[in-house]
Structure 1
Amino acid sequence: MKVEVIFSMRLITPSVILELSLPLPTNNFTVRYKISDWLPTTAKEVKERGWEELDVILFSGDAYIDHPSFGPAVIARIIEAEGLKVAVVPQPNWRDDLRDFKKLGVPRLFFGVTAGSMDSMVNHYTAGKRLRCDDAYTPGGKSGFRPDYASQVYSKILKKLYPDVPILLGGIEASLRRVTHYDYWSDKLMPGILATTKADMLVYGMGEMPLKEILRLLQKGVPFKSLTNIAQTAYLHTDGELTPDKNWKDLELSSHEECLHDKVKYARNFRHVEEESNRWQAARLIQPVGKAKIVINPPYPPMKSKELDASFDLPYTRLPHPKYNKKGTIPAFEMIKFSVNMHRGCFGGCSFCTISAHQGKFIASRSEKSILKEVRQITQMPDFKGYLSDLGGPSANMYKMQGKDLKICERCARPSCIFPNICSNLNTDHSAMTEIYQKVNKMHDIKKAFVGSGVRYDMLYNKLCSTKEQQSHKEYMKELITHHVSGRLKVAPEHTSSNVLKLMRKPDFKLFHKFKEDFDEINKANDLNQQIIPYFISSHPGSRIEDMASLAVETKELDFRLEQVQDFTPTPMTVATVIFYSGIHPYTLKDTFTAKTKTEKQNQRVFLFWYKPQYKKTIESLLKQNNQQALINKLFSNKKTRNVLCSNKEYIFFRKK
């Protein structure tokens, strides 16, 4: 007997029903979804719901994937949950007669604009500024469906067409470009994105809390232009003197024009922005630009589990919109569709990473109930074969961790909780993660739950922690390695040089040796043949030819032949990018070397592939120029190495929400 199961999340019954023809793995079911299970993307879909007017129209640089790992979907679902009518216009065509920007008319409240889940320039170009031939957030992985600087392009079009309708900017591109920032692709400083887009407001970071407050006030009839005191938002002030806010102290940054003429002032600005972004009791930042001022209100405190659960538990279909059914798979979705994100934020504050700038250094964790509920949902997906691809987060092993005394955290200004040492106030107990791993293992229809997120191994060697915490580290490591590795475990030492690692805010490489020893010991004890896959970066600020040569020697001695590597790409709002542009460290204001030219960067990169014959002469020549004969001898001795092969792909930081 064949049974039709219709998954519907709403009372509205449209006339159009799309059959996805996805048979459940253990039953003779045909799963059918109503088109209304997704938010509308066309005028026809809006009409099917019986809506005469939309409250919000959201423009996104990504294809519409109705899944909690994709910011545009989360924002749209929150707007819907607040009782408002919202539609999504994914990847609008900006090169024709602009019909995509006109087809849904004018929203009652505002336009939402996001470049998508990545900065559009990182999405488009390699570290060598070559145009990419693919886009992971587009059906078929095809490129060319979003413009460069997508937030600016979309906003300018909307302002020209509808000058009186407010625009609310969000997403990682807008968030990381909220003040004067260095743009690697144009090789110049750009003003805060509000100045170039003329958008009415920007929500930075993870936007659920400020968005809900904005919607609440608009529903009460508060004019959009009066929304100037909402936390975690920014706006362009153009009318006279700025009124002090009784709840926040003000910190004025050097103006954009001053930054253009003084790199030290630009670097100092960054330090203020980073420190205030990671405080619980932060200042309101003000940066003059031209005759206006960009005002950045302090962030919300870290979300509580109940608040985060509410975001993840919204009625997502967990699938791309049916409009893409015949256009090919969407690579970013395929990568995460069987994964579960347990928490947000990262203690690391790594110099090259934007996680702390966007998600913050404090961890916001979902409840166990919400996580297990999502796992059960995944097991019901028609093409699920029993394997979770990832049970993790931005960093795999930070779930449920926070300060022992939160009052200390509220006053803290450190950009990293674990560098240069693990904070004595940080509870690094891994028990909560181990328990969830074990509960998922026992669930029906789960054959194996892998941990695909990168593991911060330094968290497992906290010298200042209690005996209970130390025991939890050992139990977690054993559980992870014996039950949750897909044959290869990803870790990111990033470099081997102590000086470079300090600039990166990463632990000494000796700790990687310790972790590898423990990894190999657990594998041997359990008769497993698994590998560590280490990630490394070339051309990071502070890295010189001799540092890269030492890295090559170290990895040779460990029997690694690297493929998972990345050439440093300067992205807005990171310590490393500030150093790349200014030549000075924003915290010490000391001159810091950086490989900047194409030749300098290529000369560093070749050391990652020292084992390839075509690079031997180049490496020998570079080391001779630097009087490093000893390194030549170590690198090209006759000692045999064991191949440790990884897939030959460029390593890009695809961070989950």
Structure 2
Amino acid sequence: MIHDFLPICKGDMKKRGWDECDFVYITGDAYVDHSSFGPAIISRILEAHGYRVGIIAQPDWKNRDSITILGRPRLGFLVSAGNMDSMVNHYTVSKKRRHTDAYSPGGRMGLRPDYATVVYCNLIRQTYKDVPIIIGGIEASLRRLSHYDYWSDKVKHSILIDSGADLISYGMGEHSIVEIADALDAGINVKDITYIRGTVYRTDSTDNITEEYIELPSYDEVSTDKKQYAHSFYSQYCNTDPFVAKILVEKVKNKMYVVQNPPAYPLTQQEMDDVYALDYMCDYHPVYKKDGGIPALSEIKFSLTSNRGCFGGCSFCALTFHQGRIVQTRSHESIINEAKHMTEEKDFKGYIHDVGGPTANFRHTSCDKQLRYGTCPSKQCLFPKPCNNLKVDHKDYVALLRKLRKLPKVKKVFVRSGIRFDYVMADSDDTFLRELCENHISGQLRVAPEHISDNVLKMMGKPSNDVYMAFLNRYAKINKKTGKEQFVVPYLMSSHPGSTMKEAIELAEYVRDMGYIPEQVQDFYPTPSTLSTCMYYTGYDPRTMEKVYTPRSPHEKAMQRALIQYRNPENYELVKEALLSNGRSDLIGFDRHCLIPPRKMAARGERFEKTGKKRKR
């Protein structure tokens, strides 16, 4: 087998002796052949199973010929928007166009269209009317059924309908893509590929569905009735586990249905190891060198993926719908081997930037029942409190980190993926937290309490504020014992469903007492297929059907965000308006408890201090 990038032009195909590709993979990201990039994994999986795959990265969507440069594929087109939903990639939460794109050459914006999956599929159909199209990646996965689209502020059809594609391979597609390829290679018509887990297909009748299924409210119902939308979402939410999920059917229009098969089964550890041992180049394609490379690669080039899946259950996170709640891990041997190869790279400076995944300190399933019976459909492992069946054990992760620290040429191993502090608090053994503080952070530990109001935390699916405060105390005690002066940097979120202005002001007061002003604050972003987005759109918590207050106006969202960063002079007027309109003029003044002075005093480099004095910077 040739150790090289996959073909991106006819010349590359000729060098390999190919007359045609079996599959042409069109992606909205630049071509980076690294295991942190979905298109690289899927294309290398197919290659390992004997299929010829060519790559068309970021085609010019205004030129239909741009998707013909590798010719007509023998079996089909694979289409992905890339590692992010194209709309999240392009726009901030305030719907302003971003200026840079980390997944494009030199960080250049504008090389992929909005709603990229749909645009690419329509481009293919203009030229190749009958070639099978299989879509995947996070954009397709999270839009696989009718969904609220924040950017257009309306409910959209399944992306299968809008794109005209034949199949969606949703979630982590290693199993499903090989089954699809084998079926097509065997001559099965793509319209008859209706039996593969982890796929979504269209049909004109439900008569051919032989297994038990759940019929969701129709598109017409969910697009006009928010309660029906919430009911539909909750049915989807309760059917994301491969061991217990049922087939879901959604009527789109008369004699047209979208059918979601149950998710693919999780990978075994051997399968995980095999995925990460594929023949990646671990670099961006050399065609991008003249542009300065691909910024996203520099973030992960010297990082190690330890796991996938997450049983944390945060309401605003899409992982439940994409990777699932069952944690899958690589073996120590697999990770160590990758680390050894990493240390041989000429630009390796001795630092492994991260060892983790969605949640760094999850290295096994949350309980022994999951791989036999699946995750509990209507219960969470950590929320509102850790389940009695939860396995709390950091020993495997500690052992892995110790092995990595001992490798030649490795100076330091960082843990920069998020850690679940509530999972740490459930562990009576201090070993992990102590070794984390001693060896794996550099002065600051970033954690995600997100808020301090228990009402908001309940909507977020996060532990109560008492748990976070207990963690801070435990962290401080361990650092004192080890003689280190290290701090916690909290990630905070404004405007999440459930957050009234009262809770936003409480969070600002907490920030005041903390003595640290966060530089970056995440305003809640209603991305497709999260529990929080369902709350945002419908005004209901789909788990209980109770009404939920949701900040929706851009002005209120701006005020809530400004409150967390109340010391920023640019936020003065917004903070003042928020305080006055909510009867909190007591927080305007020169006393220590006040957030802002009676008048703006930060002009010409002056800054308000809690002492009530002004000082020059």
Partners of 2:188 and 2:569 lie apart in 1 by: 68
Aligned residue for 1:443, secondary structure, equals coil
Q: Distance in 2 between matches of 1:83 and 1:408?
A: 32
Deviation at 1:536, TM superposition (A): 0.7
Cα distance, 1:378–1:158 mapped onto 2, change above 3 Å: same
SS in 2 for 1:277: coil
Are residue 206 (structure 1) and residue 175 (structure 2) matched? Answer: no
Structure 2 equivalent of residue 609 of structure 1? 565
SS of the residue corresponding to residue 202 of structure 2 reads strand
Equivalent position of 1:513 in the other structure: 469
Q: Does 1:50 align with 2:17?
A: yes
SS in 2 for 1:94: coil
Are 1:283 and 2:246 matched, yes or no?
A: yes
What are the Cα deviations for residues 124-172 of structure 1, in whole angstroms up to 9, with x where unaligned? 0000000011111001100000000000000011112101100000000
**Equivalent-residue separation in structure 2 for 1:242 and 1:365 (angstroms):** 39
In structure 2, C-alpha distance between the alignment counterparts of 1:160 and 1:415, rounded to whole Å: 46
What is the TM-score with the length of structure 2 in the denominator?
Answer: 0.94
2:41 corresponds to 1:78: no
Equivalent position to 1:546, from 502, 506, 509: 502
Asked if 1:582 is matched to 2:543, the reply is: no
2:428 match: secondary structure: helix
Whether the 8 Å contact between 2:244 and 2:373 is mirrored in structure 1 is: no
Tell me if structure 2 keeps the 8 A contact 1:349–1:415.
Answer: no
Partner of 1:307: 271
SS at 1:492 equivalent: strand
Indicate how the Cα distance of structure 1 residues 99 and 160 shifts in structure 2: closer, same or farther if over 3 A, else same: closer
Give the equivalent residue in structure 2 for 1:487. Answer: 443
> Is residue 359 from structure 1 mapped to residue 323 from structure 2 by the alignment?
yes
Cα deviation, residue 407, structure 1: 6.8
Tell me if structure 1 keeps the 8 A contact 2:216–2:248: yes
Q: Select which of 175, 179, 182 maps to 1:216.
A: 182
Aligned to 1:255: 218
Q: Which runs of 4+ in 1 moved over 6 A?
A: none
Who is 1:237 aligned against?
203
* 1:361–1:416 Cα contact (<8 Å) kept: no
User: Offset of 1:635 from its aligned partner?
Assistant: 3.5
Mapped to 1, the partners of 2:40 and 2:159 lie a distance apart of 23
Superposition pairs of residues 329-478 of structure 1, within 5 angstroms: 329-406=293-370, 409-410=373-374, 412-414=376-378, 416-462=380-426, 470-471=428-429, 474-478=430-434
**Deviates most, 160-169 or 392-401:** 392-401
Q: Per the alignment, do residues 414 and 226 of structure 1 end up closer, same or farther by CA in structure 2, a change over 3 Å counting?
A: same
Partner of 2:595: 636
2:34 equivalent to 1:67:
yes
2:234 aligns to what?
271
Tell me whether 1:131 sits opposite 2:97 in the alignment. yes
Q: Among 61, 66, 70, which residue is 1:94 paired with?
A: 61
Residue 620 of structure 1, CA deviation: 3.5
**Counterpart among 61, 67, 70 of residue 104 in structure 1:** 70
Question: What CA distance in whole angstroms lies between the structure 2 residues aligned with 1:491 and 1:305?
Answer: 28
- Say which SS state the counterpart of residue 251 (structure 1) adopts: strand
SS at match of 1:635: coil
**Aligned partner of residue 496 in structure 1, secondary structure:** coil
Counterpart CA distance in 1 for 2:206 and 2:489 is 55
Q: Which amino acid aligns with 1:444?
A: P
> Shift of residue 307 of structure 1?
1.2
Which residue of structure 1 lines up, in the alignment, with residue 118 of structure 2? 152
The Cα shift of 1:521 comes to 2.1
| Shift in Å, 1:263 | 0.8
CA drift of 1:279 comes to 5.0
Return the letter of the residue paired with 1:167.
Answer: I
Paired residues of 2:206 and 2:257 also in contact (CA < 8 A) = no
Aligned residues between the structures: 596
Kindly indicate whether residue 533 of structure 2 is the aligned counterpart of residue 563 of structure 1. Answer: no
* Cα drift, residue 557 of structure 1: 1.3
- Unaligned residue ranges in structure 1 (runs of 5+): 1-9, 13-35, 463-468, 642-657
Counterpart contact for 1:534–1:564, Cα < 8 Å: no
Amino acid at match of 1:290: K
Deviation at 1:243, TM superposition (A): 1.4
Of 308, 311, 328 in structure 1, the residue corresponding to residue 292 of structure 2 is: 328
SS class of match (1:493)? strand
Cα deviation 1:244-298 (Å, max 9, x = unaligned): 33xx420000010111221100111100111101352210000000131000000
CA distance in 2 between partners of 1:108 and 1:554 (Å) = 60
Give 2:603's aligned residue: none
User: What is the deviation of 1:225?
Assistant: 2.1
Q: Deviations over 1:569-608 (max 9, x none)?
A: 1101011111111111111112211111111111111111
The structural deviation recorded for 1:349 is 1.7
In 1, Cα distance between the equivalents of 2:206 and 2:364?
A: 44
Q: CA deviation at 1:201?
A: 0.4
Paired residue secondary structure (2:558): helix
- 1:107 and 1:477, CA in 2 relative to 1: closer, same or farther beyond 3 A? same
1:421 Cα shift? 1.6
In the alignment, structure 1 residue 40 sits paired with structure 2 residue 7: yes
For residues 79-112 of structure 1, the C-alpha deviation after alignment (integer angstroms, 9 at most, x for no partner) is 100111110100011113x222111111111100
Tell me how far apart the structure 1 counterparts of residues 611 and 421 of structure 2 sit (CA, whole Å).
28
Amino acid at match of 2:282: R
Does 2:487 match 1:531? yes
Alpha-carbon deviations, 1:175-233, whole Å to 9, x = none? 00011111111111101011111111001100001112222333333332221100010
Question: Which residue of the partner structure matches residue 593 of structure 1?
Answer: 549
Moved more, 630-639 or 294-303: 630-639
Aligned partner of 2:5: which letter? W
Distance in 1 (alpha carbons) for counterparts of 2:435 and 2:11: 51
CA contact (8 A) 1:63 1:137 kept: yes
**2:293, 2:572 → 1: CA distance?**
40
Is 2:80 the counterpart of 1:114? Answer: yes
Distance 1:314 1:449, change over 3 A: same
**Aligned residues with identical type, % of pairs:** 41
State the secondary structure of the residue aligned to 1:276.
coil
Structure 1 position 409, deviation (Å): 4.4
Q: Alpha-carbon deviation of 1:614?
A: 4.3
The one-letter amino acid of 1:417's match is C
Output one character per residue of 1:375-396: Cα deviation in whole Å (capped at 9) or x when no partner.
Answer: 1111111100110110111111
Other-structure match for 2:615:
none
Q: Which runs of 5+ in 2 are unaligned?
A: 597-608, 613-617
Whichever residue aligns with residue 435 of structure 2, its letter is E
Give the TM-score of the pair, scaled to structure 1: 0.88
Contact 1:550-1:631 within 8 A present in 2 as well:
no
